[in-house]
Amino acid sequence: MTPLQEFIEVLKINRDTAFEKEKLYEDLVLTEYYEGRAKAFEDAISFAEAYSEKEVSTLMWFAAYVAGELCEKDISLGEMRVLAEGYYNKAFNTKEK
């Protein structure tokens, strides 16, 4: 399981806990609070799952790209790391700090 998939599982546990707590209380304020929390977790889960799909697709393409480069050229591990970091930054729109 990838770190992102583990994070999604944690979000689901928190969402389910919020739904359970929502049912425990008769107080309208607490019920609305836990309902809102559950909805926020649902939104976060949806976003993380979509990003996870992009991540898998991108990394699979990159693995094929690197395999092709290794077959064509004699690339050192250091050069492969530079290629990997550059591709990762481009694919996921990371910014230098």
- Digits of tens for pLDDT over the chain (97 positions)? 778 889 999 999 999 999 999 888 888 888 999 999 999 999 999 999 988 888 877 777 877 777 777 677 777 777 777 877 777 777 766 555 4
What pLDDT shows up at residue 97? 46
Half-sphere exposure of 70 (CA within 13 A, CB side): 12
Per domain, the residue ranges of the chain are 3-91
What pLDDT shows up at residue 40? 96
What pLDDT shows up at residue 44? 96
What pLDDT shows up at residue 67? 74
Nearest to 92 by CA among 46, 69, 61: 61
